[in-house]
Structure 1
Amino acid sequence: MIEVLGLTKRYGRVTAVDDLTFTVRPGQVTGFLGPNGSGKSTTMRVLLGLATPTGGDALINGRDYRTVRRPLHEVGALLDANHVHGGRRAATHLACLARGNGIGQARVTAVLDQVGLADVARDRVAGFSLGMRQRLGIAAALLGDPGVLVFDEPVNGLDPEGVRWIRELMRSLAAEGRTVLLSSHLMSEVALTADRLVVVGRGRLIADTTVTELTRRGSLEEAYLSLTAESVAHRAVAPAERGRR
């Protein structure tokens, strides 16, 4: 389970995440939606111990990520598919991650096959397309067979077949009882995969709902755009209103 509890993150005078609270439960895919600059990436960076919160907590199975001894066994994440040394071979990259977490070579072979990279396991990452790098990042996330998975824009660079594959993978992982958080700025994509939606804007929670509930407001795209527009308008008006008090 993922719990974000009153999370706030400021960079100087800029508030990237503002008192954000939501829960991602096991057994379902939760879509984490919001336009660029809405605070999604910052939230995930705090969750994965890459940034320190200004206030509040972001917990995985009730614990701060930084206290987990062998993190790949508890949480797998894909944040930036390009964050791999181009000179490394795909299998070598995964083997290095595996050794640091007490994972055997057999698991490296298994995840390479699972993501469709078995035939290029000995190739250097520098020659990989973005879609292949995405698959390698997903393989790294799956390496420790974790119960919690966090994916940031995982369909970037994938062809239509690859997009269908990632949708099926997310659903199958959730069906196994895992906690799956899928971040995107595209409602059209997330709606085809997610069971539940957490929508944020300007660092604040806009909606925590299901796809079915959101469609009652009209088409998914229209409802999503309406929610984010309302959030922007509220944040723009609020300071002026406070100034008149």
Structure 2
Amino acid sequence: MIEIHGLTIKYGAATAVDDLTFHVKPGRVTGFLGPNGAGKSSTMRAVLGLETPQAGIALVDGRPYGSIGRPLEQVGALLDASAAHGGRRARDHVACVARSNGIGRRRVDEVLELTGLAGVARRRVGGFSLGMRQRLGIAVALLGDPGVLMFDEPVNGLDPEGIRWIRGLLRTLAAEGRTVLVSSHLMGEMETTAGHVVLIGRGRLIEDTSMASLVERFGSLEEAYLRLTESSVEFAAGRAG
């Protein structure tokens, strides 16, 4: 489970996340939605210990990320598909991350096969399309077979086949009892994939409810999103996301 309690993150005078509290439970895909600048990326970075909040706490299975000895076995994340060094071969990149967490070569081959990259594993990342980089980031997130997974805009750059693949992967991970948090601006895709929604605006919680409830109330996730975030779309705090 991911637990966010009273989280507040500021960049100078700008408040990106404002006393935010919600839980992400296992066994379902949770869509993490909000306008640009709403605080989504800052919140996800805080879960991974990449942001120091001014107040509150973010926990993974009841513990701060920094206290986890082998973090990839607890939580996997894709926050930035461009993070891999362009001069490194895809397999070398995954293998390097695996070694840092005591994960063997067999698992490296497994995740490359699972993400459709086995055939291009010897190619350098700099020659990859955005969609291929997304798959590489997902491969790294899956390395430790973690129970908690977070993805920030995972379908960016993917073609229709790739989008269908990631949709099926997310559903499978949730069906296995894992906690899956996905940030996306594609409302139609989220309505199809997610079973629960956490919607924020101006760094504050707007909705924490089931997808079925939102769709019943508003007719579609897109309509719910547009109406509920109408007063938040011009907000921009220090950093986007």
Q: TM-score with structure 1 length normalisation?
A: 0.93
Partner amino acid, structure 2, of 1:84: A
Question: Which has more radius of gyration?
Answer: 1
Measure the CA separation in 2 of the matches of 1:193 and 1:12: 36
Q: Which residue in 2 is equivalent to 1:101?
A: 101
Aligned-partner Cα distance in 2 for 1:179–1:219 = 24
Runs of 4 or more consecutive aligned structure 1 residues displaced over 4 Å after TM superposition: 230-233
1:14-53 equivalences in 2 (<5 Å): 14-53=14-53
Tell me what 2:200 maps to: 200
Aligned counterparts, 1:7-86, within 5 A? 7-86=7-86
8 Å Cα contact 1:6-1:57 kept in structure 2: yes
Question: What CA distance in whole angstroms lies between the structure 1 residues aligned with 2:21 and 2:190?
Answer: 20
Match of 1:227 in 2: 228
> How far apart are residue 232 of structure 1 and its match?
6.1
**Counterpart of 1:2?**
2
Question: Offset of 1:219 from its aligned partner?
Answer: 2.7
**Cα distance in 1 for residues equivalent to 2:149 and 2:100:** 19
| Contact 1:195/1:211 (8 A) holds in 2 | yes
Output the amino acid matched with 1:222: E
Q: Give per-residue Cα distances to partners, 1:117-145, cap 9 Å, x unaligned.
A: 00001110011000000000000000000
Indicate conservation of the 8 Å contact 2:36/2:233, yes or no: no
Aligned equivalent of 1:170: 170
Alignment deviations for residues 83-132 of structure 1 (CA, whole Å, 9 cap, x no partner) = 11001001000110111101000000000000000000111001100000
The structural deviation recorded for 1:207 is 0.3
Contact 1:22 1:208 in 2 (8 A): yes
RMSD: 1.2
Mapped to 1, the partners of 2:233 and 2:170 lie a distance apart of 31
Report if aligned partners of 2:33, 2:200 keep a CA contact under 8 Å in 1.
yes
- 8 Å contact from structure 2 (residues 98, 104) kept in 1: yes
Q: Which amino acid aligns with 1:25?
A: K
Asked if 1:130 corresponds to 2:133, the answer is: no
**1:96 partner SS:** helix
| Counterpart residue identity of residue 155, structure 1 | V
Supply the distance in 1 between the matched residues of 2:168 and 2:152 (Cα, whole angstroms): 16
Moved more, 221-230 or 172-181: 221-230
Q: 1:230: how far off?
A: 4.4
- Corresponding residue for residue 212 of structure 2: 212
Shift of the 232–118 alpha-carbon distance from structure 1 to 2, 3 Å rule, reads closer
Q: Which amino acid is the alignment partner of residue 79 of structure 2?
A: L
Query: Contact 2:35–2:233 at 8 Å: present in 1 too?
Result: no
Q: Secondary structure at the match of 2:165?
A: helix
In 2, Cα distance between equivalents of 1:21 and 1:186: 24
Q: Which residue of 2 aligns with 1:240?
A: none
Aligned equivalents of 2:220 and 2:92: distance in 1? 46
Partners of 1:232 and 1:123 in 2: how far apart? 40
SS in 2 for 1:15: strand
- Distance in 2, matches of 1:93 and 1:232, equals 37
Structure 1 unaligned runs (5+)?
236-245
Task: Quote the sequence identity (%).
Answer: 69
Moved more, 172-181 or 183-192: 183-192
Show the counterpart of 1:239: none
